[in-house]
Chains A and B, each alone.
Chain A
Amino acid sequence: MDLVALLAIQVLYAIASLALISVGLAIIFGMMRVINLAHGEFLMLGGYAAIVATSHGISIWLSMLVVAPIVVGIIGVIVERTIIRFLYGRMIDTMLATWGLSLFLVGLTTAIFGNTTVGISAPLGSFQIGDYRTSAYTLFVIAVAAAVLGTIFAVMRWTRLGLIARGTMQNANMAAALGVNPPRVYAVTFGAGAALSGLAGAVLAPVSGVFPTIGVAYVAKSFITVIGGGAAVLSGTISASALFGTINQIATFVTTPVFGEVALLAAAIVLIRLLPQGITGRFFRRGL
């Protein structure tokens, strides 16, 4: 029974971390049709931002939840203004340019921070489930993921900002005719996606540590989640994270973490063969 509870928490954690690392990418891809291959590096920068802020005496909660998203969000806006905006409508070129950006950022952080792992210890300690102990930080990550997804839903559904964003993504010309400035919407959306990636990277930094090439560990999983989810940002991310997180965690539990990742990929390839439009291409079509 305790084992079941533990496994349930583990599965929930796998789902939450997948959703967390994917949601920034999902927003940028789902709303702007831009594939951001530097996504993993945005997560990595979030981790560094949190660690640098913490080492300068800012409280760990403040650096993770406030400093990291703001720093990476600003970087995101700069990237959108200097690179991405010249490439709208040229999806392949955007991918290539953001891949170049990804390499550039890896090189830059290696030059600044060195090729070593830095970490912050996870706060909150651990708690007991029957005979097992598990980190309380796990629950915090789950809570953050839930809060982020809830906030996105609320903003998109009930605020004027969300309305403008959705309208621009559906038909930019019509939105422009109604007095919206699409370039600014794109810049803000890209910045918001980057900020969420920064938040995710910072929240996961105590779990994994941070090093310049950590983006590689994230990028494959988050892409698979976004593609598996399909066009709808929120319901796609949630459904794909739930599916892949469960598969990953159960395979990890039965065998090894590496095999868990292989199972995740295999599941994703089969899913894309069956549902080329992603999960939301067929189910939850009316979702956000």
Chain B
Amino acid sequence: MSGRSLNLLGLLLVGVVGLAFMFLTPRLAELDTVLDLTVYIIMAVLALSLGLIWGYGGILCFGQSAFFGLGAYTYAITMFNIGESTLPFLLAIVLPGAFAALLGYFMFYGRISDVYLGVITLTVTLILFNSMNSTAGPEFHVGAARLGGFNGIPGIPPLNLPFHKSAVIDLEGMFYLATGALLLTYFGLRLLLASQFGRIIVGIRENERRAELLGYDPRAYKLATFTIGGALAGFAGCLFANWGNFVSPTIFGLAQSAQIIIWVIVGGRGTLIGPVVGCIGIQWLSAALGANQPSGGADWWSKIFANAPLILGVILIAFVLLVPKGLVPTAADIASFFLRRRQRQREQCGFEPQQAE
């Protein structure tokens, strides 16, 4: 099979599996499982946003959680003020996107290096965390919404169907919405990356100077990629605020930012399915380690295995040192190695090699 048809087959597979998952899960699983899965899937949208800007755009953003949190807070604040979710939903995408554009302007047009970029995005996240944390008093409010400081904002009204205030989306509807959003994001990004724009941003990632000499402005393309990633993260944040009806400053925290990076690096940069696999796998792992304590709750177990930073830290170090490409690309490498070996053996045995279509 040629690369192109293999590609189409992969797309088809993802679509079929995704749709089957979307429509079968609520029928087969308990409601609390569906609820857990919903948050995994929302986070997978977030993972895809970093998968785009880091894996394809080559922009290492350590502060993807800034846009995620901004989306969640925007939704919460506007929802309390408006009460009908169409505008808050849109604002939760537009505002983080605009913030990403502003931040990106300073970073890309300042032509700072990758490393500085990582540090600045991280710093922005931490500053948002610190400032949100200190808004506990009643004097901090936006219209009718109290910011609540480190206590967060509880009781956020859920999404409703556009312009139908009473048609509130229930828990099961939330699952459909999240899964649909993930599939839409995945295929949307595939489409984007197959377009001329996608080719150019990958070209810039591979060799910025060369792309520039060919007449493309890397600054503008990086800014656009970054903005799309920011808006997408905001979208995930809006869904997240909906899922828990709650948002607190920990959403900006260092642990959250690190998790997103870990999902992408574990799953693999330069793929779209990788970040989704990494995200769901890591979340499932942390939940399993936290839940499966031995009877009696041996203290050392909870101290070591239910200790999210400890485990995530070890995973991150191990992957950087040992599997720097991530799971999906490494698996693909291994698969193609065996395929090629088999093909070589066949040729040696005198079989006619199959005609590539």
Contact = CB atoms under 8 A, between A and B. Distances in A.
Interface of A: 35, 37, 83, 86-87, 91-93, 95-97, 99-108, 110-111, 213, 216-217, 219-220, 223-224, 227, 256, 258, 261-262, 265, 268-270, 272-273, 276
9 contacts: A83-B321, A87-B320, A100-B313, A101-B313, A106-B310, A223-B122, A269-B103, A269-B106, A273-B106
B316 A258 contact: no
B317 A104 contact: yes
A11 B320 CA distance: 41
B109 A273 contact: yes
Given A96-B265, A108-B310, A227-B116, A83 B317 contact: yes
Interface stretch (B17-25, B28-36, B124-132): B124-132
B308 to A, nearest CB: 7
Nearest to B311: A107
Nearest to B316: A100
Nearest to B314: A104
Task: Please classify how large the interface on chain B is, using the bins under 10, 10 to 19, 20 to 34, 35 or more.
Answer: 35 or more
B261 A96 contact: yes
B320 to A, nearest CB: 4
B310 A220 contact: no
B119 A111 contact: no
A272 B106 contact: yes
Contacts, number: 126
B316 A99 contact: yes
A107 B310 contact: yes
B127 A100 contact: no
Contacts of B316: 96-97, 99-100, 103
Q: Which of A86, A93, A95 has the most CB of B within 10 A?
A: A95
Contacts of B119: 35, 223-224, 227
A107 B317 CA distance: 14
Nearest to B304: A111
B86 interface: no
A105 B254 CA distance: 13
A95 B312 CA distance: 15
Given A103-B258, A216-B254, A261-B127, A111 B310 contact: yes
Nearest to A112: B303
B293 interface: no
A273 to B, nearest CB: 4
B134 A256 contact: yes
A223 B320 CA distance: 22
Contacts of B131: 258, 261-262
Q: At the interface, is chain B mostly helix, strand, loop or mixed?
A: helix
B310 A103 contact: yes
B292 interface: no
Contacts of A95: 60, 115, 118
B309 interface: yes
B315 interface: yes
B140 to A, nearest CB: 11
Interface in B129-146: 129-131, 134
Nearest to A224: B123
Nearest to A256: B134
B133 to A, nearest CB: 8
A265 B124 contact: yes
B60 A102 contact: no
A220 B126 contact: yes
Contacts of A270: 106
Contact of A91 (B112, B114, B265): B114
Interface in B250-277: 253-255, 258, 261, 265
B193 interface: no
A258 to B, nearest CB: 4
A103 B319 CA distance: 14
Nearest to A35: B115
The winner among A37, A99, A111, A276 for most chain B CB atoms within 10 A is A99
Given A256-B134, A272-B106, A220 B303 contact: no
B111 interface: yes
B309 A104 contact: yes
B110 A107 contact: no
